[in-house]
Each structure stands twice: as C-alpha cells, then as structure tokens.
Amino acid sequence: MILVGVVIPFYQEATGPLSRAVKSVFEQDIDASETQVHIVVVDDGSTVSAKSELAGLAAPDGFKLSIVEQTNAGAAAARNRGLDELGSSADLVAFLDSDDVWKTNHLKAAIDALGTEKQAGFYCCDHTRPGHHASYFELIGVDEFLRHIPGVADKNLVRLSREDAFGLFLRHVIAQTSTVVYRPSSTRAVRFRESMKSAGEDHLFWMEAIQASESVFISRDLNVVCETGVNIYFSQLSWDSPGALRRVADRIRCFSTFEKELSVSGDQADFIRDKLRRLRDQFSFLCLRAILKRKGKGAAALSQLRHDDPTFDHWFPRSVLRVTIARLTGKFVSLQE
C-alpha cells in the first residue's frame, strides 16, 4: 500500500477555487486497494474559510481530507504545516495550490515514475495556464535545455541524474509547485524557508530536494492546470506593484542561500554570482525608481533585506552607482523580468 500526502495551502478571497482543487484530487485515477491519499488543507488565515467551503464535500474511498487552520503566515509556512501534519506517514508527497487543478492521471503518472526507482526522489510535469501559456515547458524552452543531456531528447518521461537535474533546475525554474511530487524519506529535513514570502522559497526547496535525491523524473505530460485565484508572485511582477521590491529581495535571499549552503561546481558558482549581481541591480533600480516617484513603499523591503543580508552594505552602494551610471550614459538595459 502506498500512502500519498497532498498538501494544499489555502488563502483565497472568493469561494470556488478550493473545492475545485480538492475535487480534482478526489477524481484521480488510482486504485484504492493499492494507494491511499491523505489531503491536508492548511487554511492560512484565508478570507474565505476552508471549512465552510468544503463543508459537505465527502471524501471517496481511498481518500482522507483534513483541514487545519492557522493565522496568516504565508505559503511557505502553510506548506510546512501541512508537511508536519503528515509527519512520517507518507511515502510520497504532492503539492497543489488551492487555485490549481490536476488532470485525472497526475498522481498515477508520478507514482509510476517514482515507483520504478526507489532512489528517485523528485518528480514534476508540464502545466498549462489558460490565457497565459498552453505549455510552460514550451514557453521556457525545456526541450532546448534537455537537448544537451545525452539520451533524453525524445523521451516523454525523462530521467535525470542528480547532477544533471541540479544544474538544470539551478538555471531554470522547471517545476511549478502544483506539478511536484517527491519522496520525503530521502529529503525529510527539507522545508520551505518561511522568511521568503514573495518568491524563491519553492525554487530553494526543489534544489535541496534534488540534491538529496539520486535521480529526478520530468514528465512532458500536461497534467496540471493553473487556474485563476490569489497569486502572490504574479501580483508582484509589475514594477509598479507594491510588492515588487519584496519579490526581488526574496529572490536575492534565494540565490544567496544557494551560494552559502548548496554544494556547487565552479561554473555553477559563477552563474550564481552573476545572477546575484543582476538581481541586486534590479533591486537597486527599483529602489531608485520608488524614490524618484516619491513612493515610500520600498523602505520596508530595503530595511528588511539590509537586516537579513550581512553583505548588504558592501554591494548595495556599488549596485546603485552601477545602475545610475548605466542610466546616465545611455547604457542602461531593462532589468524587468
């Protein structure tokens, strides 16, 4: 018997998305005599109550639904609470955001892939986001990335060594949260960094989980649909978003953690340093932009990053100078992602 834990962090402002997400789990094509699924919904102080929305929704045979509540602490803390609720009981753990849905074969595909190799600890697949992209893998060019890895170019289910997967995921955010299924026995100590509330906490989790695994599976199947709901990251992509500086600050924290805590090769260390320089320049640019527009919204993000990053006073003045000179000399290149 395989026990799959499903962690759903929940914070929404309208009814509908959560019940839709949970129903997509109930509709998974699995054999209840072989696989049991325990869904943990973590209500992260949501405007809409998870208990109210899911009242009357009965779990079918082979499924268990638990709801836990906490004061609002962010998606990372909610996912960690879900992992804590599951404890050591789950053989596999899957993540599902409360505004996303799975196609009926998602869990079976992940179980089949990870079941072929006990040392494989991480699985993800392609996803679609209606109105934005039909295939995320096509959008970011996954086929081009994989072309450089021998023996995987034409396969629908790609097995990567830990080293190949680590290098690939370092440079490109391949996995969207709702596509990930992993084996916690090999990554028991891995948790989401709760200090990163706007970006980066998932990327760092994937990297640590991959580094703890012997191999990784990537499926080209479009088994996840990302629907519309509260999305912190996407709401902060615009330069004019009040959270834009927080998003970039969290990405700086993420890559600074890569630099300090992960075991990387020389080329990977060079990539991280270059990425940090560009992220720091983006942060400096957004700070200057906020000042020139007389918006004080960036002060808190700047102060918090300075508190968290002991190297801040070293790189920030240099970055501001570099961005200012580039702007004044006409050599400025847009830093928006």
The angle, 0 to 180 degrees and rounded to 10, between the axes of the packed helices 312-328 and 299-308 is 130
pLDDT in tens, the chain (337 residues): 899 999 999 998 888 899 999 999 999 999 888 999 999 999 999 998 999 999 988 899 999 999 999 999 999 999 999 999 998 889 999 999 999 999 999 999 999 999 877 778 999 999 999 988 999 999 998 888 888 777 776 688 999 999 999 999 999 889 999 999 999 886 667 899 998 888 899 999 999 999 989 999 999 999 999 987 555 555 555 656 667 888 899 999 999 999 999 989 999 999 999 999 999 999 998 888 777 776 556 677 788 888 888 998 989 899 988 888 887 776 655 554 4
What's this model's pTM, rounded to 2 decimal places? 0.88
